Each structure stands twice: as structure tokens, then as C-alpha cells.
Amino acid sequence: MQVAWAATRTKGTYLRAKYDSLVGRRGKKRALIAVGHKILCSIYHILKNKEAYKELGSTFLEEKKIKNNLKISINN
């Protein structure tokens, strides 16, 4: 969990944005565990597919939310 804690303290990253979005709903400890799970899943796929890590950036979640809202509004 130390890696997850360090990842949540790095500004401008996807993992920090994910942590911030989860803290309000889940609480600090559960959000930290969720970020740790994200890191483990990322490591698994990186090793399995032999590809480099791609940082999505802190705005990824916001852009995804806007994109999904547009899809919903178009379908209605």
C-alpha cells in the first residue's frame, strides 16, 4: 500500500485523480486500496503484454465523464 500512497501524492497523474474521485464516496482507506488495485492490474497487463506504461493524465477522468454525458444526451 506504500506504492499506492506515494502514487496518490503525485500531482497531475491519473492515479491521483482516481483517488480524489473515490475519496468522497468511499473514504480515504478504501480509495487507497482501490488505487493499489489499479496499480496491480496495470502491472499485470504491462508484464503480460510486454508494453510500456502510458500515463493517462489527471484530466482523463473528466474527459471521459464529459464524453459519456454527450453520448447519453445524444441518445435521448
- Res 70: pLDDT: 84
Q: Mean of the pLDDT values across residues 15-34? A: 95
- Res 76: pLDDT: 67
Q: For the residues of the chain, what is the DSSP string, one character each?
A: -HHHHHHHTSTTSHHHHHHHHHHHHH-HHHHHHHHHHHHHHHHHHHHHHT-------TTHHHHHHHHHHHHHHHH-
pLDDT at 23 over 80: yes
Nearest to 18 by CA among 2, 3, 36: 36
Cell numbers linked to 63: 474527459
User: Which pLDDT tens digit goes with each residue over 27-72?
Assistant: 999 999 999 999 999 999 999 999 999 999 889 888 888 888 888 8
**Residue with more model confidence, 76 or 54:** 54
